[in-house]
Amino acid sequence: MKNSRILVLLIFFLSVSIISCGVSNKPVKKVKMTKKELLNKVKGGWAGQVIGVTYGGPTEFRYLQKMIPDTVTLRWDNDLPKFFYDTFPGLYDDIYMDLTFVEVFEKEGLDAPASSHAKAFAYADYMLWHANQAARYNILNGIMPPESGHWKYNMHADDIDFQIEADFAGLMSPGMINTSAEICDKIGHIMNYGDGYYGGVYVAAMYALAFVSDDINYVVNEALKVIPQESNYYKCMQDVISFHKKYPNDWKKAWQAIEDSEWSIDLHCPDGIASPFNIDATINSAYVLLGLLYGQGDLKVTMDVSTRAGQDSDCNPATAAGILCTMMGYDKISAYWLDPLKPIADRDFQYTTISLNEVYDLGYKHALQVIEKNGGKVNDETVEIKVQSPKAVPLEIAFPNIYPAKLTQSTPPKQGMWGQWKMLHTLKTTEPLDIDFKGVGLVVKGGVTGKELDKAYVAELEVSIDGKVDRVVKLPVDYRKRSAELYWNVTIPSGNHTATLRWLNPVDGGEIGVRGYIEFTNKKVEIEVQNL
């Protein structure tokens, strides 16, 4: 009897350690799948992103701090992807930003340095916003990664940017959660830091695990182990998981619990301070999780929840759908979702020379290379993936003890933040403008304007603090190359200060407008808002 029990135990432990023939809901040392299955999952991930961003496209940032009501129909039909390809290809920034880095890996190999990715990103023709725009300005002006994404140089370090661009890192690292984090470390710090960086690390980790598990709850929880528990990002994701357990059948109650929490307040993105607009990675990751947890494998429900949660309501369903469709595989996505992609599948994404059909093959090729590089095997018909146990990446905290204290701005336009702002001050000559402020930091919002300005013209704005020149900000007429703000510095010694703005090279027909400024302190206070 004793020998029989020993034999049973021996068989059990052997069965755990041998190579798995398919997916598993539990961590294993190795997973074996056919090359066809691997390609199917890679294709699913890329197709899912396109489906998700298209589905949420019409509502992007139209619902701020409120859910999209059930009375609003979310459109999906055979014409929608082609419509956006033809009329608004910039909607697919989720995809073509990923492809920038995919192309660098294809040209230079898996060990391509961060500088190559940074230059490809900075010199591309597409428009950028927020953390990406700030990073491009930094790179074009000699501040390379990781400093280009660091909070001292980038006021948008906690924004969503890398979260929506990290899909490729997980799709090329099937089952290799730590490898996906290593890729993120190289590229994510081009534009983000801290919680903004963690958004991409977590997304990539969920993609990586979606290759080797078909359990949404397992993927969500296991992937979170790569995020330091001390971070606000980790705490927010844990709250979302807890709200799901508390309200398992009502995502709207979970959404409201998130909205009532500290995570719904953006403290550092200049456009989100004292505003319903929130492009912070943390809150938008929460909406991705809502979709995954309440969708429970149903693509329509997953996208619907992530979209109706609001804010960045095209990027969030794109991420959620990409992760879910990696898990499902391309062949299990219904024709209802796939057929509308067929008319555009061979068309290059804007600003790239890569189509959706081509990225399937590139993604598969890079996944094979990463599998082999990290101890797996690539055979004639199968692959053996060496599955990794998650390890937390280092703790990063952006803007430590730095909080907005006062927002002074021109009266907001009736159309919201996207409308035409009036200016508090306008610089037309070298006559300086003084701004008195108190605290540890100042952000000045505005820009250079002028219909008749030469496209090659670059305005130079000198900013001094208490009589000492702090920096000269370059303001190209070409908005793609311009900084997101006129001036930013949140590392000034605490006290009463005067910032002096002087236009060094004014030209006829141009002006530099100041539409507002934000003062920062080292203590959390209620923000004073002054509309003038």
Report which listed range, 56-60, 222-226, 421-425, 482-486, is most confident. Answer: 222-226
Sign of the CA dihedral with 216 first, then 218, 222, and 224 last: positive
CA–CA separation, 210 and 330 (whole Å): 13
Residue range 423-465, pLDDT digits in tens: 899 998 999 999 999 999 999 999 998 878 888 999 999 999 9
Q: Which residues contact 194 (CB under 8 A, 6 or more apart)?
A: 151, 157, 158, 231, 233, 396, 397, 398, 399
In this structure, what token pair is assigned to residue 473? 């900000």
Secondary structure (3-state) at 474: strand
- What residue type is 371 in one-letter code? I
Vertex 85, ends 82 and 87: CA angle to 5°? 100
In this structure, what token pair is assigned to residue 76? 């999906």
| Residue 202 clears pLDDT 70, i.e. is over it | yes
What pTM does this model have? 0.93
Residue range 173-189, pLDDT digits in tens: 999 999 999 999 999 99
| Residue 76 clears pLDDT 60, i.e. is over it | yes
Q: Does domain 403-531 have CATH number 3.20.20.70?
A: no
Mean pLDDT, residues 32-60 taken together: 97
Residue range 356-383, pLDDT digits in tens: 999 999 999 999 999 999 999 999 999 9
Least confident of 123-132, 215-224, 324-333: 123-132
pLDDT mean across residues, the chain: 92
Q: Can you give the pLDDT at residue 28?
A: 53
Mean pLDDT, residues 479-505 taken together: 95
CA–CA separation, 35 and 380 (whole Å): 8
CA–CA separation, 134 and 239 (whole Å): 30
Q: Can you give the pLDDT at residue 264?
A: 94
Q: Does domain 36-386 have CATH number 3.40.50.300?
A: no
Residue range 134-174, pLDDT digits in tens: 999 999 999 999 999 999 999 999 999 999 999 999 999 99
Domain segments of the chain as ranges = 36-386, 403-531
Establish how many alpha carbons lie within 13 A of residue 178's alpha carbon, considering only the half-sphere containing its beta carbon.
Answer: 10
SS (H, E, C) 34-94: EHHHHHHHHHHHHHHHHHHHHHHHHHCCCCCCCCCCCCCCCCCCCCHHHHHHHHCHHHHHH
Which letter does DSSP use for residue 419 in this model? S
CA–CA separation, 347 and 355 (whole Å): 5
